[in-house]
Structure 1
């Protein structure tokens, strides 16, 4: 299906696409890094605060699993819908600003809840606003990145940002605020950084119209996926189907681990607040480290080998949580093994973006993210909570580890898309 140019864009002679490389690449990286990092600060704040409000709100482990999963369900619906909408209207900046303002508001309102029902409502609304962010920012980052930095930049935005703000700063700040001022204040405090980020996007980020003639002309000399076949052809691609399946199991690994690790360390290990924040910050350090390294390494060794090797390590991290009692040793082990968030950038953004046409990129990214969030992010943690109530919290960690092991097997079916590996394969074929 040929790419069509909306009539209104043909009349927008004054539109200039965002540049590729140079100063703007770094400015965009900094703003989007901070934006998506704050998304995960908000999303994971509830997990870190669960030990403070679980008894006050009279919640079971199944309730905790539901609270961890409900943002994922809303995230999925929004990701699919906004990804399609942004491709359809070919606008991204205004949608991104609206999403930032909305998830900041609903995160703050979570501090007003009086029970499970109201908390579920606000977390669902927050998740819906947050789910819109990734399908909007990754096409922006991909367009303005030089080819040699594509995987690294996308990994920094999606992986390292979430690790730094959600995984390192998040547990330290939210636990400190909860201990000092109460868990409700920790939710209220999210308003200020959210508004600052909305202003930064407004002032520093330029809108991206992938189907505008000026953008099409700019991209003409950049090796990329041909703009033919449309979304239907993309969905018949082996890579897209495999990424959809990987998303289900990797989201199971991620959301289940993130939802139940604070409770596991507090209830099964008897860790105090200081030990809890310390160990959880190890996950954050790994998130930052591997969030950049995994995509960067994949630029050199290939997407498929990186997915296989680092997913093996990811399967070990929940087992370490079960088997290691020393906070210091567990801290170090999680830094080494918590590699999965670096893989998220590959299967949720880089591989599909290198597989599908630009005109349906956000739709495909939203579909892959949404499928994983519905099953792995919503259903799986609730089931893990039910099993944890029936047995104990070990069940949640075993489910998480098993899901990552399935990802390892699925990754063998991926078709390589890394530009350097594809170029080498083409050269070998031509030499023969």
Structure 2
């Protein structure tokens, strides 16, 4: 696939699939309050459902599926995964308690494990290094678009018809997108080194673990994801519980805030990486590191706000800065990996990122909130949000360490 039209069509379909990937993944956080009330869940249980329980299956299944994608048609892997996660997302609407909701969420996680890493690999084969970070940033806009639409649609439908109907409506388009992918996207030719770069899974994992730049970039991204996923998972509940928003207001205003904040953060980080990182690879880590350092005081100011109208723009800023890790880190992994192992290397990075970030962030905030509830009541989530501020700073420091490792790679290459 060589024409710009073919490249852009593939990118558009993959991005649309990613939109529904994140809609299905994050809608549980949007509907946390009515689900908690009907199913009798604690904040810790909600944290497990949105975080660790999802992440452990998403990450462990992701590596072998990505290894398979490096050796088979990636379009078939992505289409099958999309069909699977859409079906289980609809099944979340049938849950009767913690156990049944957990089973449905595990199914969503297993399906989504086959979506992102093969898509990264496809995009890396279609776009040259000079424009790759922007292409990956465009693909990653599926995150804010999916969260924004999911928040709006989920909030409105849940308010009008109940949270169970919201799960079904959000999940349904995934089946159609799987068919569109198979009809209109052809498998691109892999990188020039593909014929001699198809190592076994163990060799790819070993090379990844022995590479300080790969490991440090993954660690820094994981800590950024811890802050970002934790904030995203609990923001709807915080605004309802602490600042008195309604589900309809969540659907109207939080959706816009998430889409704009996360969208600008992803696009800006990708554009900056393409602008500066090809001359100085350290910028793949310096850019998100600076953003996270600025995001810490933004989160403090947002959490101190006493009205949702004042808090929303500040939360949007904090979220946008927290997600600066995504496009640069993914682009760095593609640059540091051989063409025949990009799906697998991406899956290993995503394993670290989601196990630490998606698995840890929501659970951390839920546990802190339950711990603080006897003393602070409905304000316990405010205490949890303040506890997230040091994570922003730790993630910024980890990015500086990753930048030093990337600088050593650039020096040895020259």
Distance 1:219 1:315, change over 3 A: farther
Structure 1 residue corresponding to 2:313, chosen from 332, 343, 348: 332
List aligned pairs for 1:68-107, cutoff 5 A: 68-69=50-51, 70-87=53-70, 89-107=71-89
Residue number in structure 2 paired with 1:321: 302
Q: Which moved more, 1:185-194 or 1:310-319?
A: 310-319
Structure 2 residue corresponding to 1:113, chosen from 77, 95, 100: 95
Q: Greater CA radius of gyration, 1 or 2?
A: 1
List aligned pairs for 1:42-61, cutoff 5 A: 42-61=24-43
Look up the SS of the partner of 1:290 in the other structure.
helix
Distance 1:320 1:41, change over 3 A: farther
Distance 1:83 1:265, change over 3 A: same
Q: Deviations over 1:128-176 (max 9, x none)?
A: 2112211110110111113332111101112x1110122x211111100
2:344 is the alignment partner of 1:363 = yes
Residue number in structure 2 paired with 1:5: none
Residue number in structure 2 paired with 1:134: 116
Q: Deviations over 1:301-334 (max 9, x none)?
A: 3323312222223334532431122333323223
Structure 2 residue corresponding to 1:281, chosen from 232, 256, 259: 256
Residue number in structure 2 paired with 1:6: none
2:210 is the alignment partner of 1:253 = no
Q: Which moved more, 1:278-287 or 1:101-110?
A: 278-287
2:399 is the alignment partner of 1:411 = yes
For normalisation by structure 1, the TM-score amounts to 0.84
Residue number in structure 2 paired with 1:244: 218
Distance 1:115 1:153, change over 3 A: same
For normalisation by structure 2, the TM-score amounts to 0.87
CA deviation after TM superposition for structure 1 residue 218, in Å? 9.5
* Number of residues of Structure 1 aligned to a counterpart in Structure 2: 395
Root-mean-square deviation (CA, aligned residues, Å) is 2.8
Residue number in structure 2 paired with 1:400: 388
Look up the SS of the partner of 1:55 in the other structure.
helix
Look up the SS of the partner of 1:132 in the other structure.
coil
Distance 1:74 1:373 in 2: 10
Distance 1:93 1:150, change over 3 A: same
Greater fraction of residues in helix? 2
